[in-house]
A and B are shown apart, each in its own frame.
Chain A
Amino acid sequence: MSGTFSWAESLPVIFMALMGLSMLAYVVLDGYDLGVGLLLHRATDAQKDTMIASIGPFWDANETWLVLGVGILLIAFPKAHGMVLGALYLPVALMLVGLILRGVAFDFRVKAHDSHKPLWNKAFFFGSGLAAVSQGWMLGRYLTGLAEGWQFMLFAAAIALLLPAAYVLLGAGWLIMKTDAELQRHAVRWAKLAWAPVVLGMGLISVATPLVSATVRSRWFSMPEFIALLPIPLMTLAALLGARALLNSHRVLGKVCWLPFVLVVAVFLLGAIGMAYSLFPYVVLDRLTIWQAASATEALAVIAIGCAITVPAIVGYTVFSYRVFWGKAGELRYA
């Protein structure tokens, strides 16, 4: 890379950042509602309605971040898109079926005949689970640059279990924030249940990632980078421990009910930063850099202009929507 500024070199970086942020937004936003879906079967019928009411106004828009993220992969890095989605063809299809079931169950469960409601509740739970497990598997495969071999498959399988657990923790945090009374106390219990597997899983993966990838190993375990990077795992640990301490305290039911959710979001954010550091500038680890995979500079520029105008607007009205539905979730009813 030369020292002078050039659009041909910086646009792919900008789009990589935008794609990463979209995917992070997706994982956090759809993560909490997939997590709520995974907890659905543990609740009573009335609680189920409240749980779904808490995510009802948001899930459509939450899912759109996935379309944007994959859209950017397709538009800005078409060569990587073909490589990644070709290799992950089956888990992608399973995730899509999961998202279809989850998405339609939202509406069918309140509109269909009452006797069919349990069936749609099951579809909601099953769809959320299928989507979360598939996403975990894909993340695991992606992190190792889609490498073939039993150790990589084992790694992916571990993340396929971790991600749903992390979603459950996030979803429970969301419910602690958005509900009250008995359901809120349940949510605290669910969060505690999910906490240990998440911590264990994150620990294992932090150990396993450098073991399965030489590139990641060299990036993290050399001096002075190791010292400079130390805050990432330490802050993650602090956020997880802080969340645990809060869950153990009665104060979590009161004014600071939003804090566990925010702490778990922080864990996701730190994880994303760690991943970004591990992967950059590869879009597929060790195989394809963002510059090798990028579209023509002209095409990127056209989308960049659109993004510069629309993304702030999207963020703006997303914030508006969250403000409209601020506070504890009430009964969900059409106006």
Chain B
Amino acid sequence: MLDALLLARMQFAANITFHILFPTISIALGWTLLFFRLRWLKTSDEAWLMAYRFWTKVFALTFALGVVSGITMSFQFGTNWPGFMERVGNIAGPLLGYEVLTAFFLEATFLGVMLFGHGRVSERAHLTATALVAFGTTMSAFWILALNSWMHTPAGHEIRGGEFFVQSWLAVIFNPSFPYRLVHVLLASGLTVSFVLAGVSAWQLLKAKANLSTPKVLRTGLTLAAVLIPLQIVAGDMHGHNTLKHQPQKIAAIEGIWETQRGAPLLMFAVPDESTRSNRFEVGIPKGAAALLTFDPDGELQGLNDFVGAHPPVKPLFYGFRLMVGTGLLMLGFSWAGLWLYRRRAWLAGALPRPLLWGLAGMTFSGWVATVAGWYVTEIGRQPYIVFGLIRVDEVASAVPAPMIALTLALYVTVYLALIVAYIGVIKYMAEKPVDMPAPWQPALAGVRT
């Protein structure tokens, strides 16, 4: 029998996992649309307009899924973790409130103008609306990550009678892990979108459904990926060092280090076993973890045995981290190889080798894999705390009976799975259809209805 706490966690995890898929795309895709639009205005090349029109549809779909799952989340903060708001509401409340006030309304309102306003507003107003939508999605990430980071590295507060009060808002928002997490997440969004762009284009080429915009979108995606992935590796490494400083047990679980030791190896593979508190089948680089994390091959790293009863489960962190890094390395390989080959073939998309195209098509949603794996590593790595070191998850769970949570969990999961299938299916269907273009295309005339 699953207990209510575990069910509440599963339900929340199911919902945020489903939710994160869509903002991860819409944050960077918003800016990409602005780029396509600006290229079209600058070059008058219809291919850019075509790219804008096609990817606007993907954006609208993605945004809608993000909105509806986000609304669900806003309810679940309270229904699943009522104690959380009672204890830290003075901190979490305003951060969430500012997200609604400065981001949600902005993006939702201007999305209408961006999607349907052409011909009703001037080109400049339309561009502004597009920029505001992109800005809104990014602001949303800013506030929610400020809160999320604060839960990992709480700062700027004082505790009176169990309740949290703010001492310094600057310290709360710009808490120690926030800058690293924000950069890491925004880069993840950029990478996810770059592979969606490249993957869909590759699919169009494979299926002989390419249009005028396909080569340009493919080049945009590959270039973006090739530039962002090294940046992401550096940002991820810095985030890791930050985590080592504030949450050493998370790093110990990621690296599979049980005993505090000098010169810990970098494990490529192992099977961590919490019952014996040791690893089986270790394959690793001697002194690798110590060298990477302490810049000293004989540096000391704390082990999990220093945190008995207060460290996260080891397996999901150990495997999740390797899944994320492995996906990242694949991204590095594919984006650099793809860009290099594309250049060698004089940017002729039709001349690209089919295995590369199949690889890129297969990598279309690789950003989701890396993002969710990384997200699980960091969030499961917070366990058993909800506010790291200060409040445990089991202290704030709700009193809703387990069968009720199980019922709604099943309901949500069914809907979510169906929607993921529909989302991917519709993107594939749209990719194989010609882009409908207004013929003849006319620049916007204010007041003319389209």
Are the CB atoms of B93 and A76 closer together than 8 Å? yes
Residues on the A chain within 8 Å of B415, using CB = 97, 100-101
How far is the CB of A87 from the nearest CB of chain B, in Å?
10
Q: A63-B108, A86-B398, A99-B68 are in contact. Are A331 and B450 (CB under 8 A)?
A: yes
Q: Per-residue CB proximity of B108-136 to A under 8 Å, as 1/0?
A: 11111111111111000010000000000
Are the CB atoms of A321 and B113 closer together than 8 Å? yes
Q: Which of A89, A100, A302, A307 contacts B72 (CB 8 A)?
A: A100
Are the CB atoms of B422 and A112 closer together than 8 Å? yes
Size of interface on B: residues with Cβ below 8 Å to A: 75
The answer to whether B65 has its CB under 8 Å from any CB of chain A is: yes
The answer to whether A208 has its CB under 8 Å from any CB of chain B is: no
Are the CB atoms of B108 and A324 closer together than 8 Å? no
* Docked CA distance A64–B114 (Å): 17
Q: A63-B108, A302-B169 are in contact. Are A75 and B71 (CB under 8 A)?
A: no
* Docked CA distance A333–B426 (Å): 18
Are the CB atoms of A74 and B113 closer together than 8 Å? no
Q: A85-B78, A298-B90 are in contact. Are A310 and B101 (CB under 8 A)?
A: yes
How far is the CB of B15 from the nearest CB of chain A, in Å?
9
The answer to whether A334 has its CB under 8 Å from any CB of chain B is: yes
Q: Per-residue CB proximity of A70-93 to B under 8 Å, as 1/0?
A: 111111101101100110011011
* Docked CA distance A256–B415 (Å): 42
Are the CB atoms of A89 and B89 closer together than 8 Å? no
Residues on the B chain within 8 Å of A112, using CB = 422, 425-426, 429
Q: A58-B112, A317-B106, A325-B120 are in contact. Are A78 and B85 (CB under 8 A)?
A: yes
Residues on the B chain within 8 Å of A17, using CB = none
Are the CB atoms of A103 and B68 closer together than 8 Å? yes
Are the CB atoms of A78 and B75 closer together than 8 Å? no
Q: Per-residue CB proximity of B62-96 to A under 8 Å, as 1/0?
A: 01110111111011011100100110011101101
Are the CB atoms of B74 and A70 closer together than 8 Å? yes
Residues on the A chain within 8 Å of B108, using CB = 60-61, 63-64
* Docked CA distance A306–B143 (Å): 13
Residues on the A chain within 8 Å of B430, using CB = 111
The answer to whether A253 has its CB under 8 Å from any CB of chain B is: no
Are the CB atoms of A82 and B85 closer together than 8 Å? yes
Q: A78-B86, A86-B400, A92-B79 are in contact. Are A60 and B111 (CB under 8 A)?
A: yes
The answer to whether A45 has its CB under 8 Å from any CB of chain B is: no
* Docked CA distance A296–B86 (Å): 11
The answer to whether B44 has its CB under 8 Å from any CB of chain A is: no
Which residues of B35-71 have CB atoms within 8 Å of chain A's CB atoms? 53, 56-57, 60-61, 63-65, 67-71
Give the residue name and chain of the A residue nearest to B118 (CB). Answer: A335
Chain A contact residues (Cβ within 8 angstroms of B): what range?
Answer: 35 or more
Which residues of B121-173 have CB atoms within 8 Å of chain A's CB atoms? 121, 126, 163, 165-166, 169
* Docked CA distance A99–B73 (Å): 13
* Docked CA distance A78–B98 (Å): 17
* Docked CA distance A242–B113 (Å): 34
The answer to whether A118 has its CB under 8 Å from any CB of chain B is: no
The answer to whether B97 has its CB under 8 Å from any CB of chain A is: yes
The answer to whether B404 has its CB under 8 Å from any CB of chain A is: yes
Residues on the B chain within 8 Å of A174, using CB = none
Residues on the A chain within 8 Å of B93, using CB = 74-76, 78, 295, 299, 303
Are the CB atoms of B69 and A74 closer together than 8 Å? no
Residues on the A chain within 8 Å of B113, using CB = 57, 320-321, 324
Q: A66-B71, A112-B429 are in contact. Are A60 and B112 (CB under 8 A)?
A: yes
- For the complex, would chain A's binding face be called helix, strand, loop or mixed by DSSP majority? helix
Q: A60-B63, A296-B90, A314-B105 are in contact. Are A81 and B110 (CB under 8 A)?
A: no
Give the residue name and chain of the B residue nearest to A96 (CB). Answer: B72
Which residues of A280-335 have CB atoms within 8 Å of chain B's CB atoms? 295-296, 298-299, 302-303, 306-307, 310-311, 314, 317-318, 320-321, 324-325, 330-335
Residues on the B chain within 8 Å of A295, using CB = 89-90, 93
Q: Which of B60, B97, B407 contacts A306 (CB 8 A)?
A: B97
The answer to whether B449 has its CB under 8 Å from any CB of chain A is: yes
The answer to whether A197 has its CB under 8 Å from any CB of chain B is: no
How far is the CB of B438 from the nearest CB of chain A, in Å?
8
Residues on the A chain within 8 Å of B90, using CB = 295-296, 298-299
Residues on the A chain within 8 Å of B429, using CB = 111-113
Give the residue name and chain of the A residue nearest to B89 (CB). Answer: A78
Most buried by A among B64, B86, B89, B105: B105
Q: Per-residue CB proximity of A100-136 to B under 8 Å, as 1/0?
A: 1101101110011100000000000000000000000
Which residues of B327-363 have CB atoms within 8 Å of chain A's CB atoms? none
Q: A60-B63, A97-B415, A303-B97 are in contact. Are A79 and B111 (CB under 8 A)?
A: no
Q: List 6 A-B contacts (CB under 8 A).
A: A86-B398, A104-B61, A306-B101, A324-B120, A330-B450, A335-B118
Additional pairs, 4, CB under 8 Å, beyond known A66-B71, A99-B71, A107-B60: A56-B112, A68-B101, A79-B86, A317-B109
Give the 6 A-B CB pairs with smallest separation, nearest first: A335-B118, A57-B112, A75-B93, A60-B108, A299-B90, A82-B82
